[in-house]
Amino acid sequence: MSLPLEGLSAIVTGAGRGLGRAEALELARLGAAVVVNDYGQPGRDGSGAASAAPAEEVAAEIRAAGGRAVAHLGDVSDFETARALVDLAVAEFGKLDVLVNNAGILRDRMVFSMSEDEWDSVVRVHLKGHFNTTHFAAVHWRGRSKAGETGVYGRIVNTSSEAFLAGSAGQPNYAAAKGGIVGLTTSSALALARYGVTANAICPRARTRMTEDVFAGFGEPAEGELDPLSPEHVAPLVGYLASPAAAGVNGQLLVVHGGMVAVVDRPKVSAKFDTAKEAFTYEELDSLLTPHYASRPAGETFAATEVLGLKKD
């Protein structure tokens, strides 16, 4: 019996540790040949010397299990590095079929304390990094289609965050980048569907190096039980979205953690007001909007995360 991703090749960025590692291992388990990308810096803020070791270790683990994998050391926020990454997949495996964007860093600070570099670096790695790899993967798929190849297969799985959905007071850079990734995903989904490509985004919750302080003491597993915040809860959804079974899933945002997947609707209008005259005045808006917001719970945002069961206990 063939595996769901047999004959396909994939790139997973930020795959040397945490979520990316789990995703790369899952894609390989499902039959894909994998390019394991990681910049290998020890600090979650992107500090420290780059190292090939994390990516090499994951690639070796895949090969030891009987799969095919190569490692790639590189910072995907660099445009030419992203080009070389896609070129490596094509050179090693003949083509690229799946792109999983996961690489990221954290530089948390309240908006009134955040420096320009702290803003720029996080947006660069997350949002520009997602764009860079998406761009070169899209060029690859479009080129094959324009050359007359039938049945071009392409899957993009991007990594957003609940920080975008519900806000995160100490992460204005991260939340903004993750929101931008959703916009990039939906735009790419529309632009690339004609070439046989789908693009979707996930909001994963997992205990990793990036979130070790956020989830410290939260939902700790009993001895012998799987951690409810293990990256292994997230990886199967990525495998599914990368597979032929998900051909009808495009431009979607899914929240995933601990044995739960929630499909997030696009924002909907919750209330609508029309002027009684030709144009609104300040006084009329005050009479309509102030009572409307006064009737809503204090601090409520547009994202109804409680409905999804995403709020901490």
Going by their DSSP bridges, the two strands 253-257 and 260-264 should be labelled as antiparallel
Closest alpha carbon to 38 in 6, 1, 3, 70: 70
**3-class state of residue 261 by DSSP:** strand
First to last CA, the chain: 43
Chain center to CA of 135? 15
The tokens for 260 are 């739960």
Catalytic residue among 178, 188, 195, 243: 178
> How far from 309 is each of 18, 203, 304, 306, 313, CA to CA, in Å?
24, 14, 9, 5, 10
The tokens for 300 are 């409520």
- Known catalytic residue: 268? no
The tokens for 292 are 């409307």
Catalytic residue among 174, 195, 240, 243: 174
Catalytic residue among 9, 161, 188, 243: 161
- Known catalytic residue: 187? no
- Known catalytic residue: 293? no
Catalytic center residues: 161, 174, 178
